[in-house]
Amino acid sequence: MDGTPPYLPGDDDRDDLAALDFSVDDYGEGSTFDAFEGYVRTQPSDDEETFDSIAGFAAESGDEQEPSPPLFTVTNPPGTVSVSAYLDGRVHRIDLSARVTNMTEPQLAEEILLIAGLARQKARSAQYTFMLDGMRELGHDNVATRDFLSRDLGLPSPEEATAKTAQLFATRYSGDHD
């Protein structure tokens, strides 16, 4: 021995898993599931019919799905790029038509970013409407609420989002007549 204690940092001879036994003993030809044989029911009980008749205990069919979250989609006028966004503005999906092959990569990237920004703005304007309606139901002042939503939260009104989309489409695609 050289006088150093075993298991120092950097001692590569140490095997942390040596104490664990991973060997498999051969106990016979039986299946692992044989242990459950005593618990398997062979005949359906009358309780199944009772539980199926109670709402909430009935087996759910595979056809039922959770409602999908609302999506807000914007498509550019040539119809080459469509972007769908969730209510919070995150991009859900980008759809491209076959005509994008005529665009350069930087043009396509710019177009996707532009349309994604408009889809995000459309979704955030839906947040504005949702929150404004909720505050109105609670009896809050519309002017103060609109100011809060616009200035403090930075949410565009639906009118602002629509106007920006129309203005951008008019200036960017005014010469396109596909």
Q: Which burial class, exposed, middle or buried, applies to 75 when counting CB atoms under 10 A from its CB (0-12, 13-18, 19+)?
A: middle
pLDDT digits (tens, 9 = 90+) for 75-109: 999 999 999 999 999 999 999 999 999 999 999 99
Give the span between the Cα atoms of 31 and 132, in whole angstroms.
63
Are the C-beta atoms of 145 and 134 separated by less than 8 Å? no
- b/e sequence 92-113, b meaning 16+ C-beta within 10 Å: eeeeeeeeeeebeeeebeebbe
Are the C-beta atoms of 161 and 122 separated by less than 8 Å? yes
Are the C-beta atoms of 156 and 128 separated by less than 8 Å? yes
Task: Compute the mean pLDDT over every residue in the chain, rounded to the nearest whole number.
Answer: 79
Q: Give Cβ neighbours of residue 114 (< 8 Å, ≥ 6 apart).
A: 76, 168, 172
pTM of the predicted model, to two decimals? 0.60
pLDDT digits (tens, 9 = 90+) for 22-76: 555 555 566 655 655 655 555 655 555 555 555 554 455 555 678 888 999 999 9
Q: How confident is the model at residue 174 (pLDDT cuts 50, 70, 90)?
A: confident
Structure confidence at residue 74 (pLDDT): 96
What end-to-end distance do the CA atoms of the chain give, in Å? 85
Structure confidence at residue 29 (pLDDT): 61
Give the span between the Cα atoms of 17 and 151, in whole angstroms.
60
> 173 — alpha (psi -120 to 50), left (phi > 0) or beta?
alpha
Residue 16 pLDDT more than 80?
A: no
Give the residue extent of every domain in the chain.
72-172
Structure confidence at residue 117 (pLDDT): 96
pLDDT, greater one: 13 or 91: 91
